Amino acid sequence: MIAARHDASVVQAGRLLADHAGRRRVSLVEAALALVQRTMEPSRILGASATARPGRP
């Protein structure tokens, strides 16, 4: 879901999701479940990419 919308690798998408979960202080499972259940918009995760460091996979 994140990889497709962000045109990123699955590894990059996983890192974005993990970073988001860490910033929000929720478990990675909770963040992923919110995406799957569509109670959280993928754009909330994708917005984090703007703060990611260049060259970071």
Instruction: Name, in order, each residue with C-beta under 8 angstroms of 44's C-beta and a sequence gap of 6 or more.
Output: 20
Q: Does the pLDDT value for residue 7 go beyond 70?
A: yes
pTM higher than 0.75 for the full model? no
Instruction: Name, in order, each residue with C-beta under 8 angstroms of 36's C-beta and a sequence gap of 6 or more.
Output: 1
Q: Does the pLDDT value for residue 30 go beyond 50?
A: yes
- Residue 56 banded pLDDT, cuts 50, 70, 90: very low
Amino acid identity for residue 26 in this structure: V
pLDDT at position 35, please? 92
CA atoms within a 13 Å half-sphere pointing along the CA-CB vector of 16: 26
Q: Are 13 and 6 within 8 A, CB to CB?
A: yes
Six token digits for residue 10: 């699955």
